[in-house]
Structure 1
Amino acid sequence: MSQDEPVPAATAEQGGRNLLLRTAAAMVLAPSAIALAYIGGWPWAVLAMLVAVGLLVEWFSIVGFSRDWPSIGAGAAALLICGLALAAGRPWLALAAAALGFAALAALGGTRRRWSMTGFVYAALALAASILVRADEAWGFTALMLVLLIVWVTDIGGYFAGRSIGGPKLWVRVSPKKTWAGAVGGFVLSLLVGLGFALLGFGKTVPLLIVAAVLSVVSQLGDLFESAVKRQFGVKDSSHIIPGHGGLLDRLDGYVAAVVVAVLIGLCRDSLDGVGRGLMVW
């Protein structure tokens, strides 16, 4: 995800092609994600598991473990078992699988084991949060759509506000192209999403505005975190699997941070089976 400042004319054509690729990819991926989120259950859980494994593989590639097949295999197996257990309503089994996967990577990781363990925790949190927020039968889809829309508009608002306005950089050392104008633009659009949900009767206005604000900020922090990891290892894109966007990590960095925090908010206010209600109903 990027929030670009105004670009010179020499690069305008390249930027236009990139925008077309981003738009085309979004037009395919977004409806597919929404459809599976609506169906919920095992189809959504399977998508979450596949994405989590993809996140782990890309993370290992970034940190220089792309050929560490024992670690990749152990981490992927643990993630799949964790996802199956969560989808079957066995959270303690999922926790045990995650703990075993973490221990296996600690043993196999070698001199950079902290990076492999961090990547596993990152993928496992993304997996667990995605399944748990949707598991709420009454509010799961609504809560998941709130998270997705906030992340998407934060990204879109940041991209266009950053390119059209430019101005002071947000954090040059980590992500040179991101600007404060882009950050504010994305934040404002996220508030409109929260307001829209309230107007449609999906919750109270003030709490939803607060939730939208928190998730938008967290989403941008997640983006910066992934950028910092890539910069640490001198990597531009996590992969090239998504045209115009890079890899899964590039596309989902904000979502991972936002959905994890959304689940934490839901758990603070409700049970493990009522994460969506805890997030939406105040």
Structure 2
Amino acid sequence: MQTELRLRIISGIVLAALVLAATWYGGIAFRLLAAAISVLVYYEWSTITRLPDSDFRGNAFGWATVAGIAGLVIFGFDELALPVLIGATVASILYAFAFTKSGWLPGGIVYSGLTAISLAAIRGDSGEGFAAMIFIFAVVWATDILAYFVGRAIGGPKLAPPISPGKTWSGAIGGAVSAVIAGTLVHAAFFPLNGLWIPVIALVLSVCSQIGDLFESFIKRRFGVKDSSRLIPGHGGVMDRVDGLVFACFAAFLIALGDAIVSGAANAPAGVFLFGP
């Protein structure tokens, strides 16, 4: 076995074990994980888009915002984190409009801040939150793995050649189908399956996961970068590993938030609305 492949496998197993352990324990362990991912994502985003060089003041504001949101998430002040993110995003858009004429600062703030908020909100402290996160992991991982193997086996028309030349429509469809199957099976392990809500949610999250993958590929291609960083041995950066996951979590969080607002129970955990019995 080649050294690079061995390193990739070992680091992948260690990462998966840490993530699953934090998800199992929940509470402060998972909040720390969500906050760490958010901070590292902003580090990589700002590095890729060269914010420290092109917009030092804006980047400092971005760091302050992401650090503040991470702190709020760690200490359980979730109800404050989203308003802070919205306010900082509006402020960064006005700043960019007035000075830089670039959307990379607001984009980085939203991408990083919403990562921590959505992960923490979905996991929460309930059994439904744990089931929700395992469900999302299953959907995203099934999408990634089967999209690769189906795409390699069948080939065919390219999905988005200017952004990611290796991805095919056959892989995208195969990944989505496998995600629906995996998500449905995981949900059935926790709760009785009732209707088409869960398969539909799995399909939506699989599509969002693939969009997240393409989005990160677009950013890296735009700035001529192969990996988001070299923080993870054999895997590149954090963004390289969580691009699909964070987009799926964004979608799940926003769906749950909309459902909560409509039902008049906005303070209930996101996992309860999406994946409760």
Per the normalisation by structure 2, the TM-score is: 0.86
1:179, 1:108 → 2: CA distance?
A: 36
In the other structure, the counterpart of 2:254 is 264
Partner of residue 273 from structure 2, selected from 274, 278, 281:
278
Aligned to 1:10: none
CA distance in 1, matches of 2:29, 2:56: 27
Question: For residues 35 and 131 of structure 1, what CA distance do their matches in structure 2 show?
Answer: 15
Q: CA 1:108–1:216 in 2, change beyond 3 Å: closer, same or farther? A: closer
Give 2:46's match in structure 1, choosing from 42, 57, 60.
60
Q: Which residue of 2 aligns with 1:151?
A: 140
Q: Cα RMSD between the aligned structures? A: 2.5
Deviates more, 1:67-76 or 1:187-196: 67-76
Asked if 1:200 is matched to 2:186, the reply is no
Distance 1:65 1:166 in 2: 38
CA distance in 2, matches of 1:218, 1:59: 19
Q: What's the CA shift for 1:97?
A: 3.4
Offset, 1:140: 0.9
Aligned pairs for 1:1-282 (under 5 A) are 20-67=6-53, 70-99=57-86, 101-102=88-89, 103=91, 107=95, 110-111=99-100, 113-204=102-193, 206-270=196-260, 271-281=266-276
Give the TM-score normalised by the residue count of structure 1.
0.85
Q: Distance in 1 between matches of 2:79 and 2:191?
A: 31
Q: RCO (CA 8 Å, sep 6+): is it higher in 1 or 2?
A: 1
Aligned-pair distance for 1:199? 3.2
* Unaligned 5+ runs, structure 2: 261-265
Instruction: Give the total of aligned pairs.
Output: 268
Q: Runs of at least 4 residues of structure 1 off by over 6 A?
A: none
Gaps of 5+ in 1: 1-12
Letter in 2 for 1:33: V
Corresponding letter in the other structure for 2:268: D
State the 1:39 CA deviation. 1.2
Q: Is the 8 A contact 1:55 1:123 kept in 2?
A: yes
